[in-house]
Amino acid sequence: MSGGTGALAPNLKDALSGRDAPPAMPVMGARALRAQNNLLEALVVFIPVALLLEMQGQTGGWAVRGATVFLGARLFYTPAYMSGIPGVRSAIWATGHLGLAMMVLTLLGVLA
C-alpha cells in the first residue's frame, strides 16, 4: 500500500465502526432483501396453516393444491421481484396468497 488517502480507508473505518448507519445498498440488493422479508412474512402464515392441516389429517385435495400453488408462486416471486417488471410481482404475490386462502378454507371446512 502506498501512502496518502486510499480507497481502503473509508471501508476499514466502516468495518471497525459500530455500524449504526449501514452503507447504502444497491437497487438489486434492496430488492432481494425486500423479497426475502416478504417470504418470511408469508411463511409465518403458511407454516402454521400447513401444520394444522397435517394435524387434522387434511393432507389431500384442496390443501395440497393450495400448498402447491403457494410454493410454486414463491419460486417465481423473487425472480419477478428482481426483474422489476411492473405488475408481474404483484400477480405472483396474489397467486401465492390464493394458495394460502385455499389452505385456510380447507382448514375451516369450506373446501373439502
Q: State the DSSP code for 4.
A: S
Burial class (CB within 10 angstroms; exposed 0-12, middle 13-18, buried 19+) of 99: buried
In angstroms, the Cα distances linking 45 to 65, 75, 99 are: 16, 17, 11
pLDDT of residue 51: 97
pLDDT of residue 15: 74
pLDDT of residue 9: 53
pLDDT of residue 20: 77
The domain segmentation of the chain, as residue ranges, is 25-107
| Sequence-ordered alpha helix ranges (H) in the chain | 8-16, 27-55, 61-83, 88-107
pLDDT of residue 72: 97
Give the global pTM: 0.79
User: What parts of the chain have a pLDDT lower than 70?
Assistant: 1-10
pLDDT of residue 12: 78
Query: Dihedrals φ, ψ of 47, to 5°?
Result: -60, -50
pLDDT of residue 112: 80
Amino acid occupying residue 60:
G
